[in-house]
């Protein structure tokens, strides 16, 4: 069971981390930490990106430690596999519903951006690494999909501190690697065009996150109650995923 939960959690962590690229912070990082801007500051982008990724992994480690503590506590409850998967099912359903505009309630998005004044106040390793840490924790800045919450829940449900920590590191690492999207840009024009193309895929990225959450929910239903329960939850979750214009768009406050 732990292995299956780990695979579900890793898939969710990856898609949640990728979705973070479209957060106000994520897009801000693409426009602030790139080959064009770093060259203007007299820095090599590769080194800046390395500091950022290291910081993001560290932030993921912070998330992983929190999940690991929760996993140890959950393991002591000694719940059956069926009950564990049932909790995963509920969490996945809540995540899909939270991201869908077809429902009124939504989990908190924590509308906080990183402080761009760091770029002109601190040394490169501080601003790049510091931004990475905040981004990598998943909950310190904008939460662009409820898959972030689901990642943490699934990590705890594994009941393994090591596995939960690994899931946190994976989230942080993938989140940090998003900075490499601009690695090949060398002119302001190409940079603006690239960011515009990235922004165009914002809605599909959220739909993808919802689809992965739904798959996790159906799988959890299968393991919790068999094919009947899986079929019962598959319908509503599919409706939430495929409904046109059915996804919330999280934007920075005016």
Interatomic CA distance for residues 79 and 90, integer angstroms? 16
Judged by phi (left if over 0) then psi (alpha if -120 to 50, else beta), residue 138 lies in left
Interatomic CA distance for residues 212 and 214, integer angstroms? 5
The domain limits of the chain are 2-80+108-201
Q: Under 8 Å CB-to-CB from 194, ≥6 apart: which residues?
A: 30, 181, 182, 185
Write down the pTM of the prediction: 0.93
Interatomic CA distance for residues 194 and 192, integer angstroms? 5
pLDDT tens readout for residues 144-193:
999 999 999 999 999 999 999 999 999 999 999 999 999 999 999 999 99
Average pLDDT, the chain: 91
Please check the confidence at residue 104 and state whether its pLDDT lies above 80: no
| Predicted pLDDT at 254 | 39
Pick from 198, 181, 226: which is nearest to 89 by CA? 226
pLDDT tens readout for residues 207-247:
899 999 999 999 999 999 999 999 999 999 998 888 765 56
pLDDT tens readout for residues 112-153:
888 888 988 999 999 999 999 999 999 999 999 999 999 999
Interatomic CA distance for residues 180 and 197, integer angstroms? 15
Cα 204 to chain centroid distance, Å, stands at 15
Pick from 59, 31, 30: which is nearest to 179 by CA? 30
């Amino acid at each position: 069971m732990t292995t299956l939960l780990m695979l579900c959690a890793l898939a969710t962590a990856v898609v949640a981390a990728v979705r973070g690229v479209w957060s106000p912070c994520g897009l801000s990082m693409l426009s602030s930490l790139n080959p064009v801007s770093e060259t203007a500051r007299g820095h090599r982008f590769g080194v800046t990106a390395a500091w950022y990724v290291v910081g993001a992994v560290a932030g993921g480690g912070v998330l992983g430690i929190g999940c690991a503590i929760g996993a140890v506590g959950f393991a002591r409850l000694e719940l059956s596999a069926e009950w564990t998967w049932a909790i995963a099912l509920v969490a996945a359903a809540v995540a899909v519903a939270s991201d869908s505009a077809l429902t009124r309630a939504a989990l908190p998005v924590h509308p906080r951006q990183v402080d761009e004044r760091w770029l002109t106040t601190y040394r490169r390793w501080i601003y790049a690494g510091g931004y990475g840490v905040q981004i990598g924790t998943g909950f310190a800045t904008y939460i662009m999909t409820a898959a972030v919450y689901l990642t943490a829940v699934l990590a705890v449900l594994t009941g393994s501190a090591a596995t939960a920590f690994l899931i946190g590191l994976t989230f942080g690492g993938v989140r940090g690697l998003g900075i490499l999207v601009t690695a090949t840009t060398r002119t302001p024009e190409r940079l603006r065009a690239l960011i515009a193309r990235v922004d165009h895929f914002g809605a599909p990225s959220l739909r993808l996150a919802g689809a992965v959450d739904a798959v996790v929910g159906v799988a959890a239903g299968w393991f919790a109650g068999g094919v009947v329960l899986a079929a019962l939850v598959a319908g509503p979750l599919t409706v939430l995923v495929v409904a046109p214009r059915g996804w919330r768009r999280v934007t920075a406050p005016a």
